[in-house]
Amino acid sequence: MTPQLATAIDTNTDPVSLTADLVRCQSVTPTEGGALQLLESLLSTHGFDCTRVDRNGISNLCAVWGGGNNGRTFGYNGHTDVVPIGNPEDWTCDPFGAEIRNGVLYGRGATDMKSSVAAFATAAIDFVEASPPDGRLILAITGAEETASPDGTPAILDWMAAQGLKADHFLVGEPTSLKTIGDAIKIGRRGAVTVYLTVTGVQGHSGYPEKAVNPLPALVELLHVFEADTLDEGTDNFAPSTIVITTVDTGNPAHNIIPAECKATVNIRFNDTWTSREILDWVAARANHIAEDFGVTISSTHRLSGECFFTPPGGFSTLIQNAVRQETGMTPALTTLGGISDARHLVNHCPVVEAGLTGESLHKVDEHVAVDEIHTLKAIYIRILHDYFNRPSL
């Protein structure tokens, strides 16, 4: 942070303490665990108008600073829910203890993404109190990002629409850096769809295979086709699409029975070459061909996690790149790597960029974040806010 900006913004609110307090909240998705209550209490104390936007048992928080229609509206989106810890005996520390060892804070959610929420909340507090901007800040925090619930961030957006609230730009605080903080930000994500396949034949005795129709060879061949085929070679903005086999199941307890049915699940990550409908048609065409060849029936259902989306580089992404460079000395690459995020819900609302910590330990045992990274991320967020509200245009 430059001396001029450091003087203008009094950074008294500690993001590390807030991160630790959030990690101690056992908010395993979709349990709220007290994390949103903690944020609501803190932000309300500092002049933010906080509203719980809970829907169908899912907890969400929308905190707004500023009013009227003057100036820009900056939105931040994050989540306080975390994935399960797995086997607690595999951890070298209390998963919800927020222990700090050798400058590293440990605990579930330390990386994904309670540090980012803490960094932005404290940055926003310090920023509006030191130099109140001509505009509005919105913090849209969900308690159910990890479940991909339609009652998480989409519920907040529905509430905002009902209130006449609209952000001009949204920053999502997911871990985006690859090896060191500031080396990458995201301006898009591949789409994701999971396909659940069922192959049905005719059950029979394994000693008389001619009297049965074994569905397993058909399933094996179909999965081989999926593995051998190439969806695409990638595009200017995205890596190649991928199809991954995640389960194969027969549920057959007997050694001498040809099963009537077997199942498999595949997860497909697709780039901007495809829509989910086109991907499903691609799967169906191959399944139909195999079914005809093997004399079986192949049916499927699917779960769409999100379509591929992309925010073209522009003024907002450049502003964030410049802020990161000022604080870290490096210009982050614009990437579309990784899985899905709640940015997919926001992209139709306004331009979206994702910028956050390194993600080396997210969802792992002994998830952790360097304390220095939390401070750096807060500094980046303060500079983003400063530059956003102090430039005539983007």
Positions annotated as catalytic residues are 81, 145
The pair of structure tokens assigned to 197 is 């396949």
Q: Is the dihedral of CA 109, 114, 116, 118 positive or negative?
A: negative
- Between CA 222 and CA 228 the distance in angstroms is 10
25 phi, psi to nearest 5 deg: -80, 120
Distances (CA, A) of 126 to 40, 207, 351: 16, 76, 25
- Between CA 15 and CA 376 the distance in angstroms is 10
Instruction: Write down the residue that tokens 């479940």 correspond to.
Output: 147
Distances (CA, A) of 277 to 165, 259, 270, 284, 308: 32, 31, 11, 10, 12
- Between CA 129 and CA 47 the distance in angstroms is 9
> Taking a C-beta distance cutoff of 8 angstroms, is the pair 335, 184 a contact?
yes
User: C-alpha angle 348/353/354, rounded to 5°?
Assistant: 120
CA 289 and chain centroid, separation:
36
> Taking a C-beta distance cutoff of 8 angstroms, is the pair 201, 260 a contact?
yes
- Between CA 258 and CA 211 the distance in angstroms is 10
